[in-house]
Amino acid sequence: MYCTKCGQNIEEHDIYCPYCSGKVNDQFYEDEDISEKKASEDANGVMRLVELESKSSSETKNVDQEYEKYKKSILKNQSQNYAIDYDDNDEDDGAFKGMGGKMVIVLIVIAFVTATALAGKYFFFDDYFARQQGEIADQENDEMDTETPPNNDIEEDPMTPREQAFLDVEALNYNIDEVRNNENLKFDKNQDYIESDINTSIPISDEVWKEIEGKTYHYQTAIIKSLVQFNSKWVDYVNNNDRTVISLMEQDSKAYKNVVNFNKEGIYEEFLLFEIGEIRKGEKGYYVWTHEQIKVVEDGRSEIKEYDWIYKLVEGEYDFFISNYYRY
């Protein structure tokens, strides 16, 4: 290689001539300077991408736009770099190889930065939100676990024989609008009752009466059943002349005679309310305090009548029978 200034033979890659100190090949180094400048610009572009990719997820869209913008710019510069004219000589080939090595490094850096950014975008943030959702779900499950489960093992108190009696008589009631318990209807020790056996009677509560066909009957159940049947059938007797009620009374008793001799001509009744109170046991029978509310229609006139009766019942083999009733 010869110096372009003095014509002396010099080394191929000398920058300055050792003889005249002149710059050997201005065009070659001008091209190399241009390449270094463009590589510098590309490196600056890469650093800009790194800054943009490090922004928060709320700016992801702008990062993507900036990334596309700078990527197009870098690719454009690369195309220009590769389009540099060169001759098939050793000097241009060396320059091109130097520039190519730098561009390979730049491309590797770009690829690494891009992969890192995408990984952060699609894995870090997705993982963050997934963990947030998982923590919320775990918190909800913990709250559900801490809730007190319903106690399905709580046993209700069993019904008393009296409560059971009112439930059982529903199937035997055809004509009474309402049958209910009334604890205020009870024996008054200061009152002298018309029958002395009432004055000396004692209360009964849940005593067992007897076993019938394998079933246990209490006094409460058997007596309340007989009273409801009697008054329900009484309405059929008055309105329809159904004489079934007579079978529910003690034969030839006071109650029996009253029913048989009752003049029901032109009378229609509606039994509105039947309340049952205390039940007591005497030497001659059982006594029950009651209250009745009956609508009586007679000769076209309607009237609601109220009665306070003490029913007397006597014990039969399988049932109790109405023997008498007293006002109190």
**Which pLDDT does position 255 carry in this prediction?**
96
Q: How many CA atoms lie within 13 A of 267 on its CB side?
A: 17
Mean pLDDT of 125-143: 60
DSSP code of residue 171? G
Higher pLDDT, 148 or 80: 148
Residue 240 pLDDT exceeds 80: yes
* The pLDDT of residue 28: 46
What is the distance between the alpha carbons of residues 78 and 149, in angstroms, rounded to a whole number? 70
Residue bearing the bigger pLDDT, 236 or 124: 236
Q: Backbone dihedral region of 21: left (phi > 0), alpha (psi from -120 to 50 degrees) or beta?
A: left
Q: What tokens does 235 get?
A: 């309405």
Q: Which residue has the higher pLDDT, 165 or 77?
A: 165
321 SS3 class: strand
Question: Average pLDDT of 263-269?
Answer: 93
CB within 8 Å of 20: residues ≥ 6 apart? 3, 5, 6, 8
**DSSP, residue by residue, 4-49:** TTT--B--TT-SB-TTT--BS-HHHHHHHHHHHHHHHHHHHHHHHH
- CB distance 238 to 219 below 8 Å: no
Residue type, 206: D
In this predicted structure, the answer to whether residue 82 has a pLDDT above a threshold of 60 is no
CB of 305 closer than 8 Å to CB of 296: yes
Q: Hey, how many other C-beta atoms are within 10 angstroms of the C-beta on 61?
A: 9
**What number is the average pLDDT over the span 299-305?**
93
Q: Which of 121, 228, 149 lies closest to 181 in space, CA to CA? A: 228
Residue 249 CA to residue 245 CA, distance in Å, equals: 7
| Residue 87 pLDDT level (bands cut at 50, 70, 90) | very low
Strands 320-327 and 301-315, by their bridges, are antiparallel
- Average pLDDT of 177-183? 96
Higher pLDDT, 21 or 45: 21
Question: Average pLDDT, whole number, for the chain?
Answer: 78
The region of weakest confidence among 3-17, 60-74, 186-200 is 60-74
CA-to-CA separations, 18 to 5, 22, 29, in angstroms, rounded: 11, 8, 17
pLDDT bin (cut points 50, 70, 90) of residue 299 is: confident
pLDDT digits over 144-171, tens only? 666 566 666 666 778 887 888 899 889 8
Kindly state the average pLDDT of the residues 58-70: 57
Q: Determine what percent of the chain is predicted with pLDDT higher than 90.
A: 42
CA-based radius of gyration for the chain = 57
Whether the predicted pLDDT of 11 surpasses 50: yes
Alpha helix locations (H) across the chain? 26-53, 60-82, 90-119, 125-146, 161-168, 196-199, 219-240, 254-260
Average pLDDT over residues 32-48: 53
pLDDT band at 110 (very low <50, low <70, confident <90, very high): confident
Output the six-digit token pair for 242.
């159904």
Least confidently predicted of 75-89, 155-169, 226-240: 75-89
Helix (H, G, I), strand (E, B) or coil at 113: helix
Q: Which helix (H) or strand (E) holds 302?
A: strand 301-315
pLDDT at 67 over 70: no
User: What percentage of the chain carries pLDDT values higher than 70?
Assistant: 62
| Distances, alpha carbon 280 to alpha carbons 196, 199, 290, in Å | 13, 10, 12
Bridge partners of 289, per DSSP, are 310
Nearest residue to 104 via CA among 129, 128, 81: 81
Q: Residue 294 has what pLDDT? A: 98
The secondary structure element, H or E, covering residue 280 is strand 267-281
> Is the pLDDT confidence value at 91 over 80?
no
The answer to pTM > 0.85 is no
Does the structure show a pLDDT above 80 at 265?
A: yes
> Is the pLDDT reported for residue 112 higher than 60?
yes
| pLDDT bracket for residue 270 (50, 70, 90) | very high
Q: Are 166 and 224 in contact (CB under 8 A)?
A: yes
Burial class (CB in 10 A: 0-12, 13-18, 19+), 291: middle
Of the given ranges (61-65, 98-102, 146-150), which has the lowest mean pLDDT? Answer: 61-65
